């Protein structure tokens, strides 16, 4: 190799390397980097970059500051990542939908903006177009509306395809454009699900902390017979004969003691809780109820010395 040839090769190599660097930089898209930028500017940029329509509903000011960062907009998940960051920055939820309309020339049909990377399996390669669209939209967690009706059948290259490939083939054969629309709505102040929202998934769905459930046994029903006040005759017989109270019940006029574990738990055995066993609540048992002598007719009186005749054995002294 002559000296002239060596010089020429030395000049050509840097030019080739520089040209290759220019091509690589042209292929890689510029990152989407917004820091407290107006919402309207961010939405317009996302529409142009991804070929979608972003609709923000609610009382938002177009100048509302928004922050998001997508390093590589050409990545497969970049579109969904950008929408999710926008929704979180605005405190919104989002719902994706497709608006399908007819186009005159199939050669200008763009690729369908599908976010899922899953597969779809049909029973056969030839499928009903409308039914296939509904199935693909469901797998993409989206909804669909038709600006123009779609009918007939389509012939797919295989019955097991990625959702993206199946959608593109159906769009080409039906001459339809699938416009992807992302609608952002303000998150409700009160959660629509039971419980407190503690976090959200990357898709903006709420993660809910369910409340604790506590079971309390119902209170026992009152025994109507046990709560019926004693009659005069029963009270008289009990006071005269000194009849002891029924087993398990506290003595009349005597506070229940701690020796009985059920004394305070059972209101009918507790002289302070049961007004019919407490002489300070029941006038028929209280020695302070009738302090004056009582006439019983025919000139006879009952002298009780200030005690209740129904609680203390009377002393009849005859006619005056």
Residues 6+ apart with CB under 8 A from 203: 80, 84, 141
Q: Where are the domains of the chain?
A: 29-209
Q: In terms of Cα–Cα distance, which of 153, 236, 182, 235 is closest to 52?
A: 182
Residue-level pLDDT at 209 = 65
Q: Which residues pair with 70 in a beta bridge?
A: 32
Separation of alpha carbons 304 and 293, rounded Å: 6
> Using only C-alpha atoms, what is the Rg of the chain?
45
Per-residue pLDDT reduced to its tens digit, 54-103: 999 988 889 999 999 999 999 989 999 999 999 999 999 999 999 999 99
Per-residue pLDDT reduced to its tens digit, 224-237: 665 555 555 555 55
User: Residue 42 — φ and ψ, nearest 5°?
Assistant: -65, -45
In percent, the amount of the chain with pLDDT more than 70 equals 51
Give this prediction's pTM.
Answer: 0.53
Q: In terms of Cα–Cα distance, which of 141, 174, 180 is closest to 156?
A: 174
User: Residue 282 — φ and ψ, nearest 5°?
Assistant: -95, 110
The DSSP line for the chain is: --HHHHHHHHHHHHHHHHHHHHHHHHHSPPPEEEEEEEHHHHHHHHHHHHT-EEEE-SS--TT-EEEEEES-TTSTTHHHHHHHHHHHHHTEEEEEEEEEEE-S-GGGPPPP------EEE-SSSEEEHHHHHHHHHHHTT-EEEESS---SEEE-S-SEEEHHHHHHHHHHHHTEEEEEEEEEEEPPSS-SSSSEEEEE-TTS-EEEEPPP----PPPPPP-HHHHSPPPHHHHHHHHHHTPPPPTTSPPTTSPPPTTSTTTTT-TTT-TTT-TTT-TTT-TTT-TTS--S-EEEETTEEEE-TTS-TTTS--EE----
Report residue 15's pLDDT band, with 50, 70 and 90 as the boundaries: very low
Residue-level pLDDT at 258 = 52
Separation of alpha carbons 246 and 76, rounded Å: 84
Per-residue pLDDT reduced to its tens digit, 262-302: 545 555 545 455 555 555 555 555 554 445 555 555 555 55
Report residue 106's pLDDT band, with 50, 70 and 90 as the boundaries: confident
Asked if residue 206 has pLDDT above 80, the reply is no
Task: Give the 3-state DSSP-derived string for 109-172, with helices as H, strands as E and coil as C.
Answer: CCCCCCCCCCEEECCCCEEEHHHHHHHHHHHCCCEEEECCCCCCEEECCCCEEEHHHHHHHHHH
Residue-level pLDDT at 113 = 96
Asked if residue 20 has pLDDT above 50, the reply is no
Average pLDDT, whole number, for the chain? 73
Asked if residue 259 has pLDDT above 90, the reply is no
Residue-level pLDDT at 161 = 96
Separation of alpha carbons 54 and 40, rounded Å: 10
User: Residue 119 — φ and ψ, nearest 5°?
Assistant: -100, 160
Separation of alpha carbons 34 and 38, rounded Å: 9
Per-residue pLDDT reduced to its tens digit, 132-190: 999 999 999 999 999 999 999 999 999 999 999 999 999 999 999 999 999 999 987 54
Residue-level pLDDT at 58 = 87
Q: Give the mean pLDDT of 103-129.
A: 92
Q: Which residues pair with 98 in a beta bridge?
A: 144, 180
Per-residue pLDDT reduced to its tens digit, 124-134: 999 999 999 99
């Amino acid at each position: 190799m002559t000296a002239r040839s060596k010089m020429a090769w030395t000049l050509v190599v840097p030019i080739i390397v520089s040209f290759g660097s220019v091509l690589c930089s042209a292929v890689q898209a510029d990152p989407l980097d917004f820091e407290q930028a107006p919402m309207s500017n961010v939405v317009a940029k996302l529409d142009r970059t991804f070929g979608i329509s972003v609709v923000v509903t609610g009382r938002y000011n177009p100048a509302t500051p928004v922050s998001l960062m997508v390093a590589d907009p050409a990545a497969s998940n970049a579109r969904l990542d950008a929408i999710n960051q926008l929704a979180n920055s605005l405190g919104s939820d989002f719902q994706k939908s497709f608006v399908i309309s007819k186009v005159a020339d199939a050669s200008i049909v763009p690729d369908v903006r599908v976010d899922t990377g899953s597969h779809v399996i049909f029973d056969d390669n030839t499928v009903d177009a409308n039914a296939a669209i509904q199935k693909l939209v469901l797998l993409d967690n989206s909804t669909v509306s038709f600006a123009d009706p779609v009918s007939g059948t389509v012939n797919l290259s295989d019955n097991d395809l990625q959702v993206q490939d199946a959608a593109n083939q159906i769009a080409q054969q039906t001459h339809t454009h699938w416009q992807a629309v992302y609608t952002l709505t303000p998150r409700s102040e009160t959660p629509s699900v039971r419980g407190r929202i503690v976090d959200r998934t990357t898709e903006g769905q709420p993660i809910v902390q369910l409340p604790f459930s506590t079971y309390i046994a119902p209170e026992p029903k009152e025994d109507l017979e046990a709560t019926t006040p004693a009659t005069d005759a029963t009270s008289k017989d009990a006071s005269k004969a000194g009849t002891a109270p029924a087993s398990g019940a506290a003595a009349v006029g005597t506070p229940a003691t701690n020796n009985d574990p059920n004394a305070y738990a059972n209101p009918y055995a507790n002289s302070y809780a049961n007004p019919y066993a407490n002489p300070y609540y029941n006038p028929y048992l209280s020695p302070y109820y009738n302090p004056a002598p009582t006439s019983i007719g025919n000139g006879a009186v009952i002298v009780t010395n200030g005690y209740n005749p129904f609680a203390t054995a009377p002393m009849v002294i005859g006619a005056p």
